Amino acid sequence: MTIPGGDKRVTLADVAKLAGVSKQTVSRVVNGSAHVTEDTRERVLHCIETLGFRPSALARQLSTGRSQTIGVVSNGGQGYLVTGVAYLGMVRQADRMGYALLIKEMVDFSAGSVRAMLDFLIERQVDGVIWAGPEIGDSHAWLDDFDLASLPMPLVAINAKARPGVDTVSFDNFEAGRLATRHLLSLGRRNIGHISGPANRWVTQQRVEGWRAALAEAGLPEAGRNLVEGDWDVTSGGPGLRRLREICPQLDAVFVGSDRMAIGVLAEAHRLGLRVPEDIAVMGVDNQPESAFLIPPLTSMTQDTPRMAEVALRLLVRRICERRGEPYPEACAIPESPVLYHDLVVRASTLCSKSPTR
Amino acid sequence: MTIPGGDKRVTLADVAKLAGVSKQTVSRVVNGSAHVTEDTRERVLHCIETLGFRPSALARQLSTGRSQTIGVVSNGGQGYLVTGVAYLGMVRQADRMGYALLIKEMVDFSAGSVRAMLDFLIERQVDGVIWAGPEIGDSHAWLDDFDLASLPMPLVAINAKARPGVDTVSFDNFEAGRLATRHLLSLGRRNIGHISGPANRWVTQQRVEGWRAALAEAGLPEAGRNLVEGDWDVTSGGPGLRRLREICPQLDAVFVGSDRMAIGVLAEAHRLGLRVPEDIAVMGVDNQPESAFLIPPLTSMTQDTPRMAEVALRLLVRRICERRGEPYPEACAIPESPVLYHDLVVRASTLCSKSPTR
């Protein structure tokens, strides 16, 4: 099998030298410009073939202003992208639409870093940007005032608070918290605790509000005290359960902010001799493939992150086309700032209800 | 907070027009070429400032031949990258070294696709390539004959068979299979089955060989029949265990090719009323963070994929520097084709041994 081979990066200059013309002339030929005589064009094309010159995608990009590249700003350990499946959804969708992804990791979210990141992406002439870092504290505050129209390319933010003039694609995490809590209430549980993600996350805050809203609706606002902060990770599940039982000795259900933490909760309940769900109902968020195979199988909420990534990419391509005044592909007819919802998946970790107390 | 703003992609041509010079002259100024008079230089610099022209990274790249970008060819659903943590290791290392990653998904591995992928990366003038698609069937056969030196950039393959003239960074999966099996043998188990990954994977084949080698060393070559093919996924664990017990009714241990499949095995054992490890010892590969919290906690083997990704990136940067005749950073002093090893982590799913049968 033979593959490219042979060409030790032949440059425009090499072609120009052999053809006895300027680099600009070679560039004109490559880009199909009209301002070249037929003789010259033929001579240049002959030299291009002789040398095996590969007209650079970058050279073309310089003249067309299109890179067919989408910049993705993610935040390693913390972001949605690193769940792998979301990343995968984005890579596949980009591939289908003929784009490559240029991935940059964002380590801090200070104003200077945001500026540097945008500068980097502008310099690389990406056609559009997916802002996939999580909304932590005021990390996305710059989006409130920033005039996105002044950027040379469109930007779509993933799982960020809706803001005027900003394209976002997000889950409704308030609704997720409410849905989870209503499910536990429907089983007759009254002392429902919550092990949340990190408190400074917008996603976490939304879920806490949804959990409290459902408790208030059920006339149990005081149960809103039963809150422990976790870190999404399996290791924070067990300590979270122990702390919740200190705060609320009658604890009979836990809404856990991630399936990973819920695995830690199940292990700790097992260690403490608590029966799940008889003594304590446990549910997570994410519905990881493994969750159906835990002991007991875990009630959870599907969060279709690959779909979120796909939708974000389609919306971005729509915006790219719109800026260029071109029609966009049918698949890109995504509405403004679409909101995605979690789906409840009920399994044995909550299914067997205690006799309702009311 | 104000960020870039204002510049609707000012081009070289805009600057040239305002300064009354050719684009080539502007380009010379931007790239610090000597062939410009001081007067012209000052006029051009003034116009660059007036217009807010941002000398494009791509323009600079065209003249320097350096993109500070590394192409990563991954294979979505199947590759090591999508485990997220490996991807993360690579993104972080790239970030530390000042490179961005250009990610391309490879859907099939036919000769034509490989060529198209390499062409794509050459056109984008990436400084180097990480070939991170898994070795499936003969997907990497092109590496056997291909003259990598003819590529305009160096290439490092991740978790691929060692080949002369090819830089690879891989785990020793033969050793992993042998290590796992020796552990189960050391507990007195004799009827040791294996639920493997997909049979056409090089990684799978290596582990199967290691498992069989350990069985043969222990005088149990006939146990090498107790093999069922899985697909890495949790859903194939349960059916795998049932099939193994049909093949070998005395089955007393299972070496499972991934922790995810092992979760399915634990669930099925629980359903069948088999005690783990008393009736059947179970161990996985990967040592996912959750595995310590399963019921019972799962014996596994740590496969440090972030480290593999980091090492691959460092080796690649070494090669990039070497090709340019430049010294490479100390961190890049990676030996030729380094091999990484799994670490055994023993937990309760194998720990309590049956009374040895010999």
Q: Which is more confident, B210 or A25?
A: B210
d(CA B258, CA B276): 17
CATH of span B12-64:
1.10.260.40
In chain B, residues with a C-beta closer than 8 Å to the C-beta of A103 are 91, 100-103
In chain B, residues with a C-beta closer than 8 Å to the C-beta of A128 are none
B3 and A238 within 8 Å at the Cβ level: the answer is no
Tell me the mean pLDDT in the region B86-112.
78
CB atoms within 10 A of CB A174: 17
Digit-coded pLDDT (tens) for A28-84: 776 666 678 888 888 887 887 777 776 666 555 555 667 889 998 887 555 444 455
The helix/strand/coil state of B282 is: strand
Q: Record the tokens describing residue A269, joined without a space.
A: 């309940």
Element (H, E) at B142: helix B142-145
CATH T-level assignment (fold) for domain A173-303+344-351: Rossmann fold (3.40.50)
The lowest-confidence range among A174-188, A222-236, B140-154 is B140-154
The lowest-confidence range among A107-111, B94-98, B131-135, B274-278 is A107-111
A24 in contact with B, Cβ within 8 Å: yes
The answer to whether residue A285 scores a pLDDT higher than 80 is: yes
Q: Return the pLDDT at A84.
A: 58
- Please give the single-letter amino acid code of residue A348: A
Tell me the mean pLDDT in the region B13-35.
79
CA distances from B324 to A22, A181, B67 (A): 27, 61, 13
d(CA A209, CA A224): 9
Q: Return the pLDDT at B337.
A: 87
The helix/strand/coil state of B231 is: coil
Q: Which is more confident, A89 or A142?
A: A142
In chain A, residues with a C-beta closer than 8 Å to the C-beta of B67 are 58
**For chain A, what are the domain ranges?**
12-64, 69-165+305-340, 173-303+344-351
**Do the two domains B69-165+305-341 and B173-303+344-351 of this chain adopt the same fold?**
yes
**CB–CB contacts below 8 A, A to B:** 215
Digit-coded pLDDT (tens) for A158-181: 989 999 999 999 999 999 999 999
**Confidence tier at A127 by pLDDT (50, 70, 90):** very high
Searching chain A, which residue's CA lies closest to the CA of residue B81? A84
A263 and B123 within 8 Å at the Cβ level: the answer is no
**Confidence tier at B191 by pLDDT (50, 70, 90):** very high
Among A96-110, A133-147, A283-297, B114-128, name the most confident range.
A283-297
Q: Return the pLDDT at A289.
A: 87
Q: Which is more confident, B48 or A200?
A: A200
Digit-coded pLDDT (tens) for B203-236: 999 999 999 999 999 999 999 999 999 999 999 9
d(CA B317, CA B313): 6
Interface probe with A: pick from B33, B113, B290, most Cβ of A within 10 Å: B290
d(CA B358, CA B356): 5
A290 and B234 within 8 Å at the Cβ level: the answer is yes
Q: Return the pLDDT at A44.
A: 84
Q: How would you list the strands of the sheet with B253-256, edge to edge?
A: B227-229, B192-196, B253-256, B281-283
The answer to whether residue A1 scores a pLDDT higher than 80 is: no
pTM of the model: 0.82
Among A77-91, B63-77, B108-122, B214-228, name the most confident range.
B214-228
Q: Return the pLDDT at A3.
A: 45
In chain A, residues with a C-beta closer than 8 Å to the C-beta of B109 are none
Searching chain B, which residue's CA lies closest to the CA of residue A147? B5
The answer to whether residue B193 scores a pLDDT higher than 90 is: yes
What is the distance, to the nearest Å, from the Cα of residue A302 to the centroid of all Cα atoms in its chain? 15
d(CA B175, CA B330): 30
In chain B, residues with a C-beta closer than 8 Å to the C-beta of A261 are none
B118 and A150 within 8 Å at the Cβ level: the answer is no
The answer to whether residue A357 scores a pLDDT higher than 60 is: no
d(CA A102, CA A119): 14
A115 in contact with B, Cβ within 8 Å: yes
Q: Which is more confident, A91 or B223?
A: B223
Alpha helical stretches, state H, chain A:
12-19, 23-30, 38-51, 57-64, 85-96, 111-123, 142-145, 173-186, 202-217, 237-247, 259-272, 305-324, 348-351
The helix/strand/coil state of A196 is: strand
Please identify among residues 118-137 of chain B the ones whose CB lies closer than 8 Å to any CB of chain A.
Answer: 118-120, 122-125
Interface probe with A: pick from B22, B53, B105, most Cβ of A within 10 Å: B105
B56 in contact with A, Cβ within 8 Å: yes
Please identify among residues 231-250 of chain A the ones whose CB lies closer than 8 Å to any CB of chain B.
Answer: 233-235, 237-238
Please identify among residues 250-289 of chain B the ones whose CB lies closer than 8 Å to any CB of chain A.
Answer: 260, 263-264, 266-267, 270, 289
Q: Return the pLDDT at A112.
A: 75
Superfamily of domain A69-165+305-340: Response regulator (3.40.50.2300)
**Confidence tier at B55 by pLDDT (50, 70, 90):** low
B142 in contact with A, Cβ within 8 Å: yes
Among the listed residues A208, A213, A181, A182, the one whose alpha carbon sits nearest the alpha carbon of residue A197:
A208
Q: Return the pLDDT at A209.
A: 98
Closest-CA distance, A129 to chain B, in angstroms, reads 14
CATH of span B69-165+305-341:
3.40.50.2300
- Please give the single-letter amino acid code of residue A25: T
The lowest-confidence range among B85-94, B109-118, B143-152 is B85-94
In chain A, residues with a C-beta closer than 8 Å to the C-beta of B75 are none
d(CA B302, CA A187): 40
B341 in contact with A, Cβ within 8 Å: no
Q: Return the pLDDT at B3.
A: 45
Rounded to 10 deg, the angle between the A202-217 and A173-186 helix axes is 40
Are the C-beta atoms of residues A133 and A159 closer than 8 Å to each other?
A: no
Tell me the mean pLDDT in the region B179-206.
96
d(CA B84, CA B139): 23
In chain A, residues with a C-beta closer than 8 Å to the C-beta of B263 are 290, 293-294
**Confidence tier at A90 by pLDDT (50, 70, 90):** confident
Q: Which is more confident, A110 or B249?
A: B249
Q: How many helices and strands (H and E) does chain B possess?
A: 13, 12
Q: Return the pLDDT at B356.
A: 45
Half-sphere exposure of A141 (CA within 13 A, CB side): 10
Q: Return the pLDDT at A134.
A: 85
A263 and B22 within 8 Å at the Cβ level: the answer is no
Closest-CA distance, A125 to chain B, in angstroms, reads 8
Are the C-beta atoms of residues A195 and A241 closer than 8 Å to each other?
A: yes
